[in-house]
């Protein structure tokens, strides 16, 4: 049972995949696009990866505001969720992603990744944190 984690941003989507047992998350790529509203290629790439890795569920980061309200970014994520469900025919779970990008940045700094190189990895690492949080919660539920 593989699960895909996505960190959906205005110009990039970080992608992570679980191992076959659904225990650990690994970052696999960052999908980039030139325009925030041009999503056809992004959706096609996610669909390809979902088939390649035999994904059964997609976990999409839900960027709520710190006060737990749903802002503009979270609204765009909900729209993206609907597109993903239509395109892949897979269930999409929204997962609270507050502070995952901050955590990803910190991890990259601690790993001594140069500032100019961090941008390349931060979304993929954030997707790993989103997916790992979901996987951990599923293992606790048993």
pLDDT over threshold 90, residue 85: yes
Domain ranges, residue 35: 2-141
- pLDDT value for 142: 57
What's the total number of domains in the chain? Answer: 1
| Percent of the chain whose predicted confidence (pLDDT) is above 90 | 62
DSSP, residue by residue, the chain:
-EEEEEEE-SSEEEEEEE-TTSS-EEEEEEEE-SSTT--HHHHHHHHHHHHHTTEEEEEEEE---TTS---HHHHHHHHHHHHHHHHH---EEEEE-TTHHHHHHHHHHHTT--HHHHHHHHHHHHHHHHHHHHHHHHHHH-
- pLDDT value for 35: 83
The whole-model pTM stands at 0.89
CATH number of the domain bearing residue 90: 3.30.420.140
* Tens digits of residue pLDDT in 52-72: 999 999 999 999 888 888 889
């Amino acid at each position: 049972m593989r699960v895909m984690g996505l960190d959906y941003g205005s110009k990039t989507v970080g992608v992570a995949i679980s191992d076959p047992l659904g225990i650990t998350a690994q970052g696999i790529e960052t999908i980039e696009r030139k325009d925030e509203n041009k999503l056809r290629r992004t959706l096609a790439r996610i669909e390809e990866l979902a088939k390649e890795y035999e994904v059964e569920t997609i976990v999409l980061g839900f960027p709520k505001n710190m006060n737990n309200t749903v802002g503009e970014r979270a609204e765009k994520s909900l729209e993206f969720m609907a597109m993903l469900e239509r395109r892949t025919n897979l269930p999409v779970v929204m997962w609270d992603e507050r502070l995952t990008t901050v955590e990803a940045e910190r991890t990259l700094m601690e790993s001594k990744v140069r500032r100019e190189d961090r941008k390349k990895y931060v979304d993929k690492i954030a997707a790993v944190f989103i997916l790992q949080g979901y996987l951990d919660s599923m293992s606790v539920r048993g």
